[in-house]
Amino acid sequence: MVQDQQDLDLYSKEYARQLDEHDELASYRDEFYINPNSIYMDGNSLGLLSKRAEQSLLDVLGAWKHQGIDGWTQGQYPWFYLAEKLAAMSAPLVGASADEVIVTGSTTVNLHQLVATFYKPQGIRTKILADELNFPSDIYALQSQLKLHGYDPDEHLIRVASRDGRFLQEEDIIAAMTEEVALIVLPAVLYRSGQLLDMKRLSAEAHARGILIGFDGCHSVGSIPHSFSEWDVDFAFWCNYKYLNSGPGGTASLYVNRKHHGITPGLTGWFGSHKDKQFDMEHQFHQADTAGAFQIGTPNILSMAPLIGSLELFAEATMEKLRQKSLHITRYMMELIKHELSDMGFTLGNPTEDERRGGHVSLEHQEAARICKALKELQHIVPDFRAPNIIRLAPVPLYTSYSDVWETVQRLKAVMVDKQYEKFANMRDVVA
């Protein structure tokens, strides 16, 4: 909190305005298309469109329009090298070298690729370690990979239990790292509660037991700084359409530690070839000597294009400043919630400690689905519902103001005081 605000009411609208005036990232809000008639709190599901992302998409479309197939090697962003260009732009966000990252595929396809590569059951080491709070798609992929190896997922997929249904204890994860475990796949940030796991510690503990470990960064990349290479993480994968604002279904990314370069990908395809050999059309796979080897098919160029402009914003703003604001604005939101909503049945379901919190606030309430509908339809706040009882609110540092946060809490209070939620059924829509 800034010095000249000491005499202001900490919970007043004027205090929020003062915070906005002192926000060194406030100018980036103008870079985004923001609906003036609503407040967007769902950037941890789908980030907003930036003007630069729009322009880079138009630039790539223009290359197709005017150059046709020559766009692969000519123009402002030659498509043949676009995945590598975006990898170099992404690498600082995850603490990696450019050759350890590639922009390709989708989150689940990349997970399949990485597990197909690094899951090598041998002897009694046949099990995969995950957790019971992970996003379902990750679990489906792990179950599928086990079946492909002839193993029963009920027996060979270990899911570390949560003690309270919200959080995971690192001690419990470490205790499950037995001599039967061949591979570990965990979320960097839990998608419901927003808990940030200690990836450095978990990687060290896994390696001390001879186990490879990878992380799902969908709810962390673009929200918190990472040091994958320093932490000696074996692999990671993430989507780019949440905090990184690449657009719905935008191409995903993966990381492979340089020490594993040269290993044959479990799923090979022609775009994993060494660039100089790709068009020789031989029936021998000459894989790239970088993370690019883990590409399978032809890149989705139009899906990748918005990421060019989006990543420019991150390079300018820096992850350090974004994380600083994220921690401050989520803490501010939690303080407002405690002050305004303490007697209305809400429970804060995310960690309060800075070192354990990702980028969103997780509110629990037995009427969560109805409250989300009332917020969206009557109060013009865009939240996110996660079954069975969670309201996720994500104040994204690049485009969310402190005034947005203040207004969101006030409108949430109105929903509760006036019982506006009673007009709706307490069940999710088709897309939650």
Calculate the alpha carbon distances from 385 to 37, 361, 426 in Å: 21, 12, 11
Residue 255: partners with Cβ closer than 8 Å, 6 or more residues away? 94, 96, 100, 101, 228, 233, 235, 236, 237, 291
Residue type, 171: E
Rounded CA separation 195/94 (Å): 18
Binding site per annotation, positions for pyridoxal 5'-phosphate: 107-108, 135-138, 216, 219, 241, 270, 298
CA angle 92, 95, 100 (to 5 degrees): 90
Question: Is 226 exposed, middle or buried (CB count within 10 Å of its CB: 0-12, 13-18, 19+)?
Answer: buried
CB 379, CB 335: distance < 8 Å = no
Rounded CA separation 220/187 (Å): 9
Closest CA to 50 of 235, 243, 287: 243
State the angle between helix axes of 319-341 and 301-317 in degrees (0 to 180), rounded to the nearest 10: 80
Rounded CA separation 78/43 (Å): 30
Binding site per annotation, positions: 107-108, 135-138, 216, 219, 241, 270, 298
CA angle 208, 209, 211 (to 5 degrees): 105
